[in-house]
Structure 1
C-alpha cells in the first residue's frame, strides 16, 4: 500500500542535527555505502601498513603499536557483536571510525619526535574503534544480502575496500617516486589523515536496518529492543547453540597473522621505499581480483551451496600449498642479518631479479582476499539472522586480532624470517584441515528460518514479505 506522502516505502529519512537526509534502504546501496567507509578508514590503514613499518625506517615501535592495537581489538571484538545489537549499526560505525585519523596522526608525529607514547596510545584507541567498525561492517555485509547473493556481496565489499588501499598506496608511490630514502614524507601522512577523517564522517549516514528490505521483500532479522543483559546472554547462547563455529576459530586466528610477515618480513627488508609503495599497490590490487573470482565461485548457481563450500575449500588448500611453497623458495634467498648489514641489497623495481618477487607478492595478495572472503561466506552460510551474525563477526574479528597481536612480537623478538614464514604456512594449512569436518557437514543448501528466528522477537510473517509501516522507526 502507498505511503500517505506518495513516496515508495524503501525510501526513509533520519535526522542528523537540523539536517534531514535521504536514506536509501536497499541492500546494494547499504553494502556499497559501508564499503566506501571502509575504503577510507581501514583501507587507508592497510595502505600505510602495507608499506612495511607503516612507512617508517624501523619497524620496532610500529610492531609494538600494532600489538597493542590488536590485543585490545581482540578483547573488544569478542563483545562487539553485543555492542552493535544494543547501540545500533550507525552509531557503532561512527564510533568505529574515530581511531583511524588519530593513528595516522601519531605516525606523522613519530616521524619527527619519535614519540612512542602517542603511537602506543593511538594503537590502543584504534584497537577499540576498529573492533566496533569491523563488526558493524561485517554485520551489514553478511546479514543484509539474500543467501544466493552473499558471495558477490562479500566480493563487492572486498573489491571497493581494496580499491581504497590501492589508491592509498598510490599516494606514497607518487610522492616518493624519485625518493632514495627509506621512509615516506609528511605529505603522505597528511593525505591519509584527510581521507580517514572523511571516512569517519560517512559513518553518520548509515541507514537503520529496520528500513532495509531485500529484493524479495524480506527484512533483516534483528532483535527490536535488545537490552545489555539480553545481548550478553545471547553472546554465550550463540557459543552454546552454534558450538561448531569453534572449528573455524583457527581460520579466524590465522587470517591476519601473515600480514606481519608479508609487510615486515618481505616488503620492508627486501625493497626500497618506492618499490615498497609499488608492491603495496600490487598487493591490494590483486585482492580485488581474488575477491571477484572467489565471490563468483561462492555464488555459482549451477552448484549447490554445500558443493561450493567444499569445492572452494579444496581450491584454497591447493593455493596454500602452491603460493607458500613459492614463498619458502624465495625466503631461502635472504636473512634478517644479511639485509640489515647490507641495505644496498634492497631491490628497486628496475633491479634485475625483481619480477619474480613481484609476482609472489601479488600471489600473497590474492591469497589474503580468498581467505577473508571464504571466512565471511562460511559465517553467512550458517545463518541469516542479523543478531547472530553480529556475534559471529565479533568472534571473527576478536580471534583474528588475537593472532594479529602476537605475530608482530615475533618480529620484535627478531625471530628469523624463515621461522615466521614457516609458522604462517603451517598455521593456514592446519586451520583449513581443522575446519574441514564443519565445512563438509554443517554448510547446508539453505538456512532454516525457524532456527534463525530463535534469536529474535520477529515472527516468520514479519520477516518474509512484510511491508514496513510508517510508525516503525
Structure 2
C-alpha cells in the first residue's frame, strides 16, 4: 500500500479500558466511497460490504449456481446412467477435499479477485466436459474437468466464505448470508427453467439427455461469472457504514498462512465439533439428485423438480437468515433455537422421505413420474421440503461459523475446512452411488449423518457462541499486532480524532 493510502487510513481506536466509548475511523475519498440516493432509496457505495456481497453473489449465481442446475437434474442431464456424473464428481470432490484445507491460505495470498476468477474458470470447463461427453462418450475429459474444478472450487468457496462471514457487522450476519444464498440459488432456478424450456416436450423419456444447447448456454454463463469476479475490490478497501474496516492480514506469506491453519486448530479446537456438520452438508445431494430425481421422474419432470428445489432454497435461506438476526433476542438464544429447529426439521423432512423411499428400490422398474400423473403431488412437496432443508442447513452452518469470529483470516480457514470436509463426504457418497448401493442405504446414511452431526455440534451452541466477539479475541490487542494485521496505523486517544 502506498504511503498516501496509509495516511488516508490512519485509524483512531479507544484503548481497551475505555472500549465503551464510540470509535471513529476516517473515511477515504473517491468514487468507490460515494453512495447514491434514488428517491427514497439509498444505494450503498461501491466499496461497501453490501455492494461487494451482491457482486460476489452474482459471481456464484453464474458459476456454482449453474453447476447446481446441471447436477440437480440428475446424472448431469446425460442419457446413459449416472456413471459419468458419479465419476466426475468423485474426482471433483476428492480433489476439493484436499485443496479445501489449504484454500484459505491460497485465497489470502492471491486476493479475492484472482481467487474468484480462477474458481469461475473451473466451472466453465466442467460444464464443457458434459457437452463433450454427450457428443463423444469419452470419459477422459470429464474426469480431468472434475479434478480441475476440485482445485478451482476450493479457492472460490474459500474466498466466498471469507467475504460472507467477515464483511457484515455481527448483528447482520444472518441477513447477509440469506442475501447471498437467495441470489446464488437464483442461478440454479434460472438454470432449471432453461432446462425445463429446452426439454418441455420430452414426456416419455426418463433417461433422455438434455439438449446440447443447454450445455452451451451454461458454458457462456459460467464464463461470464469468471469475468464478473474482476469487478470486486480488495478487502483492504472495503468500508462499513460506521467507517470500520475488515480485519484481515496486511501482507500474508505462504509460510505464515500455512502455519495459520495449524494455529486455527490450536487456538479454536472446538471447530472440530462442527466437522461432522461440514461432512454431512453435501452428502444428501447425491441421494436427492441421482436416487430420487433421476431415478423416479422423466426428464421434463426432473427439470421441473430441479427448478422448484432451488426455489425452495430461496425461501429457506430468506426465512432462516432473517430469523438468525432477530434483533430482540440474544445471539446465544438464537443459536440454541436454530439448533433445536434444525433437529426437529431433520426428523420431519427425512421422516417423510423414509415413507417415499419405501416405495421403490434400485432394482425395481416402476414407471417414472410425470407432472401430469395423479401420484406426483406428494413427491413434489417432498422435493420442495428437501430444498428448503438444504438452505436452512447451509445458512445455519455459515452463521454458526460467523458467530464464532470476525477475523477474515480465521474465517477463510474455517471456510476452507468447511468446504474441504464437505467435499470429502461428497466424494465418498458419489463413489458409493457409483457402486450402486441400495437406495435405502443411501437414504439412511444421509438421515443418520445429519441427526448425529447436530448432536455432536451442540456444545458449540451452548458454550462457544457469544452475544458478541470482542476484538481482543480476534487479535492480540497491541499496536504492533493490530497494525500488522489490519494494515493501517493505530493511535489511542481518550477522545476520537476527527478526520
Q: Could you state the TM-score of these two structures normalised by the residue count of structure 1?
A: 0.92
| Distance of 1:296 and 1:4 partners within structure 2 | 29
Matched, 1:373 2:399: no
The number of residues matched between the two structures is: 455
Larger radius of gyration: 2
Q: After the TM superposition, which residues 9-48 of structure 1 pair with which residues of structure 2 at under 5 Å, given as runs?
A: 10=33, 24-48=46-70
**Could you say what secondary structure the match of 2:414 adopts?**
helix
Matches within 5 A, 1:29-178: 29-57=51-79, 58-178=81-201
| Counterpart secondary structure, 2:90 | helix
Name the CA shift for 1:468/1:254 in 2 (closer, same or farther; >3 Å): farther
Alpha carbons of structure 1 residues 395 and 11: separation in structure 2 relative to 1, 3 Å: farther
> Structure 1, unaligned stretches of length 5 or more?
13-22
- Which residue of structure 2 lines up, in the alignment, with residue 335 of structure 1? 361
Aligned partners of 2:255, 2:215: CA distance in 1, in Å? 42
Kept in 1, the 8 Å contact 2:280–2:453? The answer is yes
Are 2:321 and 1:283 equivalent residues in the alignment?
no
Deviation at 1:253, TM superposition (A): 0.2
Q: In 2, Cα distance between the equivalents of 1:443 and 1:325? A: 30
**Among candidates 212, 218, 231, match of residue 238 of structure 2:** 212
**2:339 alignment partner in structure 1:** 313
Between the aligned partners of 1:133 and 1:105, the Cα distance in structure 2 is: 19
**Structure 1 segment 430-441 matched on structure 2, within 5 A:** 430-441=452-463
Provide closer, same or farther for how the CA distance between residues 194 and 436 of structure 1 changes in structure 2, counting only shifts above 3 A: same
What does the per-residue CA deviation read over 1:107-145, in whole Å, with 9 as the maximum and x for residues that have no partner?
011011111000000000110001011111111111000
Secondary structure at the aligned position of 2:86 is classed as: helix
Instruction: Give the 3 Å change call, closer, same or farther, for CA 333–5 of structure 1 in structure 2.
Output: closer
The answer on whether the counterparts of 1:219 and 1:463 sit within 8 Å (CA) in structure 2 is no
Determine the C-alpha separation between the residues in 1 that align with 2:489 and 2:339. Answer: 36
What displacement does 1:235 show? 1.1
Alignment deviations for residues 52-105 of structure 1 (CA, whole Å, 9 cap, x no partner): 000012101210110000000010010000111111111111111111111111
1:379-438: CA deviations, max 9, x gaps?
100000011111010000000100011011111111100111000000000000000011
TM-score relative to the length of structure 2: 0.88
Mapped to 2, the partners of 1:53 and 1:8 lie a distance apart of 47
- Mapped to 2, the partners of 1:466 and 1:73 lie a distance apart of 46
Match of 2:414 among 392, 410, 434: 392
Unaligned runs of 5+ in 2: 1-7, 10-25, 36-44
Query: 2 CA distance for matches of 1:281 and 1:462?
Result: 50
Q: Distance in 2 between matches of 1:4 and 1:26?
A: 12
User: Aligned partners of 2:30, 2:215: CA distance in 1, in Å?
Assistant: 45
Say which of 368, 371, 375 aligns to 1:349: 371
Detail structure 1 runs of 4+ shifted over 6 Å in the superposition: 1-6, 463-469
Shift, 1:7, TM fit: 3.7
